[in-house]
Amino acid sequence: MNSLIGTYECKVDAKGRLMLPAAIKKQLLPSLQNGFVLKRAVFQPCLELYPMTEWEALMQKMNKLNRFKKKNNDFIRRFTAGVKMVEVDSTGRLLIPKDLMGFSGISKDIVVSSAINIVEIWDKDKYEQAIDDAAEDFADLAEEVMGQDDDADGIS
């Protein structure tokens, strides 16, 4: 799958349905018939929407973990806690289950943001706070993560 692009402000209706932004839906067209997995994010109070092909690739990696090591079992259990298979209906809506709405604090106003090969779904206020909080440290983080001189093809 190619990298997804875009950040969009949306609303969730009273039943927890999100109308996917047209630009994201267009990018996800090849994945629509296969469905998606929606899960809690590991580091942030948001949700992650995985196209099924991306989820299956991740599960292949996780399946290589030795289940006879307690930390691996604990990780798998926590990583997959609350995981739900979801589909986009014929009108382009996605139902966010109530338990995941509670975890992420999603109320009405949300942000749908691409994160390379998945989509993050945030409560708008929490998204803005996370971006604001990260702004101060972003230059240092960018240097640490992307500033390696040992890659001849480096990103600039």
| Alpha-carbon torsion (102, 115, 23, 49), positive or negative | negative
Judge whether 103 lies within some domain.
Answer: yes
Closest CA to 53 of 125, 4, 7: 4
The tokens describing 134, both together, are 């990260």
Beta carbons of 118 and 4 less than 8 angstroms apart: yes
Q: Please state the domain count of the chain.
A: 1
Residue 155 belongs to a domain: no
Backbone angles phi, psi at 22, to 5 degrees: -55, -40
* Residue 100 in domain: yes
Would you write out the chain's pLDDT as a tens digit for each of its 156 residues?
A: 568 999 999 999 999 999 999 999 998 888 888 999 999 999 999 999 999 999 999 999 999 999 999 999 999 999 999 999 999 998 889 999 999 999 999 989 999 999 999 999 999 999 999 888 777 777 787 788 888 765 555 555
Domain that holds residue 112: 7-145
The tokens describing 80, both together, are 């997959």
- 156 domain residue, yes or no: no
Read off the CATH number of the domain in which 28 is found.
3.40.1550.20
User: From CA 12, how far away is CA 10, in angstroms rounded?
Assistant: 7
